[in-house]
Amino acid sequence: MAHEIEIFANGSAGFAAAGKPGWHRLGYTAPGPMTAEELLTNAQLAGWNVRKVAVGSVTDPETGQPVTSDEDFLIVRTNPVTGEPERLGMVGKDYKIVQNEEVADFLQTLVDESGAIFDTGGSLNGGRRVFVTMRLPEPLMVGGHDRLDLYLAAFSRHDGWGSFTTVATPVRVVCANTERAALRNHASMFKVRHTGHIGGRIIEAREALQLTWRHGEAFAAEAEKLLRVPMDVKEFRQFANTLHPLAPNAKELTRRNHELAMRELEYLFTTAPTQEPIRNTRWAAYNAVTERLDHRSPVTGRREAAIVRAERALLDDHANTKIKTRAFTLLATA
């Protein structure tokens, strides 16, 4: 799984996180919450001075004649390590630059005095894309046991493609793959094209992102329902076999693998210490499925196990995500 985190000439990475590192183990990990200035500095997002430079006159290769344009501009930044100017993209005259500092300021103003803290930030694809996230102050608690954090993530581009986008999401953004997962798996979204200023859009953004709490409360309510419904081993076995059906004509190896999977799921549901506070409930059944898929399923091939498991847990379009969604639906509607 390619992280696409920017690696600079001195080997350092354009990424910072508060409290716990990203799965890729790159960049800087702060011992606790960071201010906006600290995040931008530690993620090497500060002082880029992104700017538009007029293309001016170019030579037509067919005729050798000069062609002058006042419509085309290069997007240029100052590399935070080398100090050299770098081209990031090409845009038209109406394109508005959004500095990395403005991204952080926008999020800070958006959450106002809520107590949200800066959590991660970084640059991707050679500085063409950047992200900054804040962890929202009120985590959702399911049954007083399972903590579900929500994040406010802002994504900006310096290559002329895409909008300035802010989403509320349960996905912690630490790389390009989690960026894509957050953009898919969001509670609410606010977009601004790079033809207007973002600073004056705070009220509009707050209105668009108010769905965050409704979404979170709705998910927590569904999870609480699962927590309140008891489930015995017999019911769990029926659920597990429905989730992972075995074809009547399955080969012997497939049958053995299926039996091993069913045994592991039953162990997680009935015995694993991770399920102790929620034992014998439908919520425990769902968590048994997710724990097996994310952390216990074997890793085959030559790829690094940690990366494969990160894919399973984080990518919204991974096959495991579809199984989790089906499991939740089966448990919620049965």
pLDDT value at 286 more than 70: yes
How far is the CA of 73 from the CAs of 40, 53, 54, 115, in angstroms?
Answer: 26, 5, 4, 40
Burial group, residue 125, by CB count within 10 angstroms (0-12, 13-18, 19+): middle
pLDDT value at 269 more than 90: yes
Higher confidence at residue 205 or residue 298? 205
pLDDT value at 334 more than 80: no
Q: What is the rounded average pLDDT of the residues 238-249? A: 93
In this prediction, residue 148 carries a pLDDT of: 66
pLDDT value at 311 more than 60: no
Q: What is the rounded average pLDDT of the residues 129-144? A: 77
pLDDT value at 316 more than 70: no
- Predicted TM-score (pTM) of the model is 0.65
Residue 171, C-beta contacts closer than 8 angstroms, at least 6 positions apart: 151, 153, 178, 181, 182, 185, 314, 316
Q: What is the pLDDT of residues 161-215, one digit of tens each?
A: 888 888 888 778 888 877 877 777 666 778 888 777 787 777 777 777 764 555 5
pLDDT value at 308 more than 60: no
Higher confidence at residue 22 or residue 206? 22
pLDDT value at 231 more than 50: yes
Residue 231 in tokens:
């489930």
